[in-house]
Amino acid sequence: MTYAKCMVCGGSYRESKIPGLLTCLICGFVTANVSLSAEQLRRLYSASYFNGEEYKNYVSERALIEKQFRIRLKRLVRYVEDPAAKQLLEIGCAYGFFLSVARDSFRAVEGLDISEDAIRYAREELGLAVHAADFLKFEPAGRVDVVCLWDTIEHLERPDLYLEKAACMMQCGGLVALTTGDIGSLVARFRGVRWRQIHPPTHLQYFSRTTLLRLLEKCGFRVRYCGYDGMYRSVDTMAYIILNLKNRQPSLYSLLKRSGFLKWDLYLNLYDILFVVAERA
């Protein structure tokens, strides 16, 4: 952990009920008790992260992922005045699938990710303006009107610094849009250590609705929308994660795959993934 005090309220931490996590004594913000170097982070998000470690095969699910991103984009543009005149920056753009569906709605789109393999694909296969870079060390060529962090803020060691920088580069009325798990949700509280979002060192920060909105306000944003995001999920990928990665039962996964039972998708909203749009005050 790179900070001794809570980034949300400045309070002190104690050990959480969940091993490996710390909880703020004042506001309840939860963080992983781990500190990673830039090189360790880079190795975490190598090509294997998207192919077998965290995802079964990210690129093969492009159509399903873009379907999900179209839903997010539709909600986002409700809060953007004249998006065709605005520039959007995505932090943690991975292989560029959100940018690929957003570029027709905005004047320009640009993306950042520390995964060099993902950035290479987004640039060469999708023709996107993307960079293998850390946002804290990056300076965009032009103004930025909208910043997106889809399922990204939980991966950052210092999300407060990312939000502060985003606020500084925007004019009043600029937007930040993000999704992340809600550790205060009913599902998270019921599942405890077994909640699917609990997996440091890739997930470092665990916000509740209250702590996330408080951090956004601290960093200069006024919340305009806060709801819960459902997702289209591949049953094949869900089975792969549950059986192969978590329970080490590859033979059962192979049996189900051969049966053809896994060849379908579903839309699922467990009301534990926050979707927030906030405006630069």
Q: Is 223 a domain residue?
A: yes
pLDDT of residue 26 exceeding 60: yes
Q: What is the pLDDT of residues 84-97, one digit of tens each?
A: 999 999 999 999 99
Other Cβ atoms within 10 Å of 35 Cβ, number: 12
Is 27 contained in some domain? no
Region 177-182 average pLDDT: 98
Give the pLDDT confidence score for residue 3 in this predicted structure.
60
Show the domain range for 263. Answer: 36-280
Residue 176 belongs to some domain of the structure? yes
pLDDT attached to residue 1: 54
pLDDT band at 257 (very low <50, low <70, confident <90, very high): confident
Q: Tell me how crowded residue 152 is: count the other CB atoms within 10 A of its CB.
A: 21
pLDDT tens for each residue of 50-85: 987 778 789 989 999 999 999 999 999 999 999 999
Q: Calculate the alpha carbon distances from 110 to 27, 87, 146, 171, 172 in Å.
A: 35, 8, 10, 18, 20
| CATH number, domain containing residue 147 | 3.40.50.150
Confidence of residue 239 (pLDDT cuts 50, 70, 90): confident
Would residue 12 count as lying in a domain? no
Which range among 38-47, 140-149, 203-212 shows the weakest confidence by mean pLDDT? 38-47
pTM, to two decimals:
0.91
Number of domains observed in the structure of the chain: 1
Domain contains 24: no
Q: Is the pLDDT of residue 122 over 90?
A: yes
- Which one is predicted more confidently, 264 or 6? 6
Helix, strand, coil: what percent of the chain each, to 5? 40, 20, 40
- Look at residue 11 and tell me if it is in a domain: no
In a domain, 20, yes or no: no
Between residues 149 and 139, which one has the greater pLDDT?
Answer: 149
